[in-house]
A and B are shown apart, each in its own frame.
Chain A
Amino acid sequence: QKEVEQNSGPLSVPEGAIASLNCTYSDRGSQSFFWYRQYSGKSPELIMFIYSNGDKEDGRFTAQLNKASQYVSLLIRDSQPSDSATYLCAVSSSGTYKYIFGTGTRLKVLA
């Protein structure tokens, strides 16, 4: 069973701090990795994707990928209360374009 695991949280950080969200996956053949943000009662919204080992930065968001350790993370700098949401990690299933989603980490940014 291919799995994607995330700590369900909640992860609470003060406004202005760095929030670090982590995700591990079991399928060594996975090639594509995605982070989605989901506000309560809403649909997921893609915020970052990464394909290669290392870091990828986009504004306040940085995705980090380590394929050897089967680990992907999302850093949110200068966290804002509006960042409070559930963050879903999604990993491609090797040999297909289907994604496996983690259960999500709930982030709370405290004003």
Chain B
Amino acid sequence: DGGITQSPKYLFRKEGQNVTLSCEQNLNHDAMYWYRQDPGQGLRLIYYSQIVNDFQKGDIAEGYSVSREKKESFPLTVTSAQKNPTAFYLCASSTTGGFPGYTFGSGTRLTVV
């Protein structure tokens, strides 16, 4: 079955540590996205990519980095520069036109310890 796989489901980060969240899709979608969800704040866009080897910053890109070396994969690195990384991270994909809507992965819950 086609879908998006995010791993790990839960991740714990120590202060000053970089961590990478995995996102893989087999839907043959061109566009992929990373969102952050905090309680009461909805979904905020971190980075998005329309094609391989190209990506753009979203609304809250500071402290994050991404790569898009393969169509199927769009990993997100949360760097030590991100001062408040505890959140629920959602990866999504869509056709280039964005229709009809995004398909979301199951999410990664990141906690700073």
Contact = CB atoms under 8 A, between A and B. Distances in A.
Interface residues of B, dominant DSSP: loop
Contacts of A99: 98, 101-102
A98 interface: yes
Contact of A88 (B42, B100, B105): B42
8 contacts: A36-B101, A49-B99, A90-B101, A90-B102, A97-B94, A98-B45, A98-B48, A98-B98
A58 to B, nearest CB: 12
A8 B94 contact: no
Contacts, number: 51
A32 interface: yes
B90 A101 contact: no
Given A43-B90, A43-B107, A44-B90, A103 B41 contact: yes
A97 B35 CA distance: 15
Given A46-B101, A90-B102, A101-B43, 10 more contacts: A8-B40, A32-B99, A34-B101, A46-B102, A92-B98, A97-B97, A99-B98, A101-B42, A103-B42, A104-B42
Contacts of A45: 104
A28 B102 CA distance: 21
A21 to B, nearest CB: 14
B31 interface: yes
Interface string B101-113: 1111111000000
Contacts of B99: 32, 49, 97
Interface in A55-109: 88, 90, 92, 97-99, 101-104
B101 A49 contact: yes
Nearest to A45: B104
